[in-house]
Structure 1
Amino acid sequence: MTREYDADVIVIGGGILGGAVAASLSQQRKSVIVLESGPDVRRASLVSAFRNYGNKSDYNGPYPDQPWAPKSSTGKYSDQYIESVGPILQKPSYLRLVGGTTWHWGGATWRMLPNDFRLHSLYGQGRDWPVGYDELEPWYQLAEEQIGVSGSDTDDQSGQGGQPFPHRSKPYPMKQQPWAYLTQQVADKVSTIGHQFVDEPNARATRPYAGRPTCAGNNNCAPICPIGAQFSGDRPVYWAVDQGAKLLTNAVVYRIERGADRKITAVHYKTPDGKSVRLTARYFVIAAHGVETPKLLLMSGIANSSGQVGRNMMGHTGRSIAMLVKDPLWAGRGPTQQGSINTRRDGTFRSEHGSIRHFLDNTVPNEIIARRLIDQGVVGKELDERIRHDAARYLKIASYVEVLPDARNRVTLSANKDALGLPKPQTTYDMFDYSLRALPRLLGDYGDFQRVFNASDVLNDVNAWVPSSHIMGNDPKDSVVDRDCRTHDHANLFIAGTGVHPSSSVVNPTLTGYALALRMAKLIGAEV
């Protein structure tokens, strides 16, 4: 007798990676249900919320905060949601709504370097990936075309100043965006002290692309691009819906049901009023962020024969330096992210310490400068003059330090419950020797930056960690998923998310996650 299912595939999470999987499977004529814990909110409403929100530097603040689906911070419910109990605060800035966290990302769409996939083989640190760059390259290309990435085809992104690298099968879909005055000035200055400055590949349109307008340089890419020139995760979700997928919002999945044959048979979700609904499918994909995915697996008691679910959490943790420099740079004109100092991205030093990447923060600094001056007692006409003077000379450079997977860094379940009676997530996070040994070089760079820009004042504590918000392997004993992102324990359960990456590198992981999601969807489509 033929068994009836609610769908061929159920995707848990309506963000950028869940959307990529759902759109690909829908295009393959598979029946798909996307379950999103938060609401479906359109750009105009979010832009209005941003304009009316007081703290413009709080990227999470303008977004919906629902008792049944709290975001990770800034809100009546979300501020009490993630319990960070480790030495370093780890509340990754994520959102729960259709489109997910890429509503307020900076749009950085880096490919990893070939050496990033072979960290243990080449440098004796961490672990290797079960897939390599050459195998992922066509999927990187497809991901860039779907997202609409603009970038430089001539940069050596390894930071060594050589030929274009890593190799590409095709040029970027769009040419790089012309650099702002700040970007060009920083590139010129750091080159005089031996640093390689490269363009940052980005999900911003530099020409009309797939219904998106050309970037107008509004400078609030985060928390939201007001015109939709920057790609966001709602787009692939809507592509899936247009091709027949069913989108269910405010559906908080709390249990994944396993059958006697170890295959997953159903998911259970709660509505905002606490009602429980059960849905069945042939295949299941979890795409619910690096905190929410392990939380769901742990609540369900599945995919954890290795004991690795929730462990080896890797954030893009680092430092930053904000300075007042001698000559005007005019930060805040154009996009918020545009360039990167990649001199220390790769090299034999990685056998001793983690790699380092410095990048520009081009956010309008007026609010930061004004608050600082007011705290100093500056008022009236002098305040107006000082804001103009100091804001023109503000320079902020942020940095990521490579971290290794470490079982002590983890997501677990709290004893405390949310509004639906479900466990809250708890995070434990710290930095260890491999990353710490990079600090002298990072702080040395900061000293060089101060000198070359003739900085008169440093405005922040450069010794403070700046947290930010990845395991995949061949051996079921020490990993949760295999090279195809299929869970070792359950043949019809896959994970789409950067939380399965075996290493962090120092570049944003979203493009790699998108490439793996497309590759996974092709495999699932062939099996369903």
Structure 2
Amino acid sequence: MAEYDADVIVVGSGVMGGLTAYTLALQGKSVILLEAGPRVPRWKTVERFRNLVDVTDYNAPYPDLDYAPRQGSVDYIQHTGPVKFGAGFLKLVGGTTWHWGGATWRFLPHDMKLKSTYGVGRDFPISYEELEPFYGHAEREIGVNGNSAYDESGRNGGKTFPPRSTPYPMEAQTFNYMNKTMQQTLDGASYWTIQEPNCRASRPYAERPTCVGNNNCMPICPIGAQYSGDRHVTRAEKLGAKVIPGAVVYKIDKGPGGKITAVHYLTPEGETHQLTAKAFVMAAHALETPKILLMSDVANSSDQVGRNLMDHLGFNLIMTSKDALWPGTGPVQQNAILNDRDGPQRSHYASLKHQVGNEAPNVPVARYLLGKGVLQPQLDEQIRHMSARWMNFNTNLEQLPDPVNRIKLSPKKDKLGLPKPDVYYSVGEYEARTQAKVINETYPAFQRLFGGTVLSIVSDWQPQDHQMGTCIMGDDARTSVVDKDCRSWDHSNLFIMGTQTLPASSSVNPTLTGAALTLRAAAILAKEV
């Protein structure tokens, strides 16, 4: 009888779990990958999407099950703070990257040393230079397209920044008419617009076809040109990894010397199972991972598990431009305006990223006009006119880690009898001060540049589904959950992979940084088991 069920057990089958399982299986390690949700084929999701009444509900094509609730599930997340926390997640094989915009940015060196550079927030315990080779590795694995010559700091310094040892594996996709026109206008006013690096295939890549611009990357890329986490899960399976869907982990066992010895999971029918391994990886969602750790009283000697919850705080300007721009052709995300991404102002103001969404706007335009009482025959004419000129400037800003913002265990239970997540979420002066500056100064400048008519400024905080910080990394076991290798300070054979370990949020999407840290940690783990 084998001493262990596997060399490594990985909990969560999203990007981080799939990359971990694949990396270990490639090294000949035995891996079991546990996923709370089901396995769903792409064709079935595409079919569900095409039959939707409301195509703007990005979660609707995906399963919402009693044992694996998705984002928006009624009464799953308990909100106890002043700001409602819209935590975006899907529970299924492949995770939430089934319906993401695909943005894959590197953090800047200053993002990773925020405290020592600008005197706010926290520092990473690892430098950009140490992580840089793994950024390149992650870009190759995920298949990222971008312009390697850009200055992504927003300073338009005319040279590649942050420094790169390898180019993007694919060339950037060509801007559509809207983005080309916007770039000319914005650059002329010194608002530098760049092509956002993303994981859509701009040429055939790793069994993915070239993106043809279907314009529904969210909720589902119908042809699979955009990367999703199931890609590496499938590759890991081909190398011998075992995937168990419908496995809701609820308990982690500790043994002698603080080592983790087993995990327990429930099936949808309520049956219990136990699995043992030499090492364990928690790669579930940034709310679900701390929830499991808190249920098990694991990895929390610092009392930081579940704390320091961060997201990119979003708000937006919606207006119509004077001239037709024709949004809605090509990918849903293509551009980024980064003037305020980095600089000395970050000691007082948060890092910012602006972009104009490229989703086909017919539905929101129709809703707006109907809300104004516009009816036929003027309705069709106005939809055509406004849809060609619709501009949605979305702003993401950096949030500082605050131990007060946290997930706890609610006394309320889910259908399996497990605690629901209780989330306390608030916004500090640093972030609020930045929002006020954008609304009072930047948005009026955008309006003037495009001769715009403002329809609304949505100032209510809109979390962007970029959860971070709840298993924060650091260089001191008293104030962090994991070290720079993503290893638990309390349990030498427990690793936590994902954006939940990030000690700073920057203003750009965190998935690539989570993937780079995961690949680095997985390489370390592969040598130990």
> Aligning the two structures, in what range does the TM-score lie when normalised by the shorter sequence?
over 0.9
Q: CA contact under 8 A between 1:266 and 1:278: conserved in structure 2?
A: yes
Rounded Cα–Cα distance in structure 2 between residues aligned with 1:36 and 1:54: 29
1:193 is displaced (CA, Å) by: 2.5
2:116 corresponds in structure 1 to 121
- Structure 1, unpaired ranges of 5+: none
Tell me which amino acid in the other structure corresponds to 1:514.
A
1:79 is displaced (CA, Å) by: 1.7
Alignment match of 2:219 (pick from 193, 208, 223): 223
Rounded Cα–Cα distance in structure 1 between residues aligned with 2:86 and 2:368: 26
Rounded Cα–Cα distance in structure 2 between residues aligned with 1:522 and 1:120: 28
1:169 corresponds in structure 2 to 165
Deviations 1:473-515 (A, max 9, x none): 0100000000000010000001011011010000000001111
Provide the secondary structure at the position in 2 that maps to 1:46.
helix
1:498 corresponds in structure 2 to 499
Provide the secondary structure at the position in 2 that maps to 1:398.
strand
2:446 corresponds in structure 1 to 449
Instruction: Quote the RMSD (CA, aligned, Å).
Output: 1.0
Normalization by structure 2: what TM-score? 0.97
1:308 is displaced (CA, Å) by: 0.3
Deviates further, 82-91 or 129-138: 82-91
1:514 corresponds in structure 2 to 515
Provide the secondary structure at the position in 1 that maps to 2:256.
coil
Rounded Cα–Cα distance in structure 2 between residues aligned with 1:403 and 1:370: 34
2:485 corresponds in structure 1 to 484
Rounded Cα–Cα distance in structure 1 between residues aligned with 2:182 and 2:407: 38
- 1:244-259 matched pairs, under 5 angstroms: 244-259=240-255
Tell me which amino acid in the other structure corresponds to 2:330.
G
Overall identity of the aligned pairs, in %? 52
Q: CA contact under 8 A between 2:14 and 2:230: conserved in structure 1?
A: yes
1:473 corresponds in structure 2 to 474
- 1:100-499 matched pairs, under 5 angstroms: 100-162=95-157, 163-443=159-439, 444-458=441-455, 460-469=456-465, 470=468, 471-499=472-500
Normalization by structure 1: what TM-score? 0.97
Deviations 1:96-134 (A, max 9, x none): 000100000100000001111111111111111111111
Rounded Cα–Cα distance in structure 2 between residues aligned with 1:23 and 1:110: 22
1:24 aligns with 2:23: yes
Q: CA contact under 8 A between 2:146 and 2:197: conserved in structure 1?
A: yes
Rounded Cα–Cα distance in structure 2 between residues aligned with 1:268 and 1:284: 12
1:435 is displaced (CA, Å) by: 1.3
Q: CA contact under 8 A between 1:107 and 1:203: conserved in structure 2?
A: yes
1:95 corresponds in structure 2 to 90
Q: CA contact under 8 A between 1:257 and 1:267: conserved in structure 2?
A: yes
Rounded Cα–Cα distance in structure 1 between residues aligned with 2:290 and 2:423: 11
1:377 is displaced (CA, Å) by: 2.2
Tell me which amino acid in the other structure corresponds to 2:416.
L
Deviations 1:202-235 (A, max 9, x none): 0000000011000000000011101000000000
Provide the secondary structure at the position in 2 that maps to 1:304.
coil
Deviations 1:299-329 (A, max 9, x none): 1111000000000000111211111111111
Q: CA contact under 8 A between 2:86 and 2:462: conserved in structure 1?
A: no
Tell me which amino acid in the other structure corresponds to 1:69.
A
Rounded Cα–Cα distance in structure 1 between residues aligned with 2:422 and 2:381: 46
Deviates further, 23-32 or 119-128: 119-128
1:41 corresponds in structure 2 to 40
1:225–1:3 CA distance, 2 compared to 1 (3 A): closer
Rounded Cα–Cα distance in structure 1 between residues aligned with 2:257 and 2:438: 52
Provide the secondary structure at the position in 1 that maps to 2:317.
strand
1:66 is displaced (CA, Å) by: 0.8
Q: CA contact under 8 A between 2:6 and 2:276: conserved in structure 1?
A: yes
Rounded Cα–Cα distance in structure 1 between residues aligned with 2:367 and 2:121: 43
Rounded Cα–Cα distance in structure 2 between residues aligned with 1:427 and 1:482: 25
Deviations 1:262-281 (A, max 9, x none): 10000000000100000000
Which runs of 4 or more aligned residues in structure 1 lie more than 4 Å from their structure 2 counterparts after TM superposition? none
Q: CA contact under 8 A between 1:256 and 1:300: conserved in structure 2?
A: yes
Rounded Cα–Cα distance in structure 2 between residues aligned with 1:391 and 1:291: 37
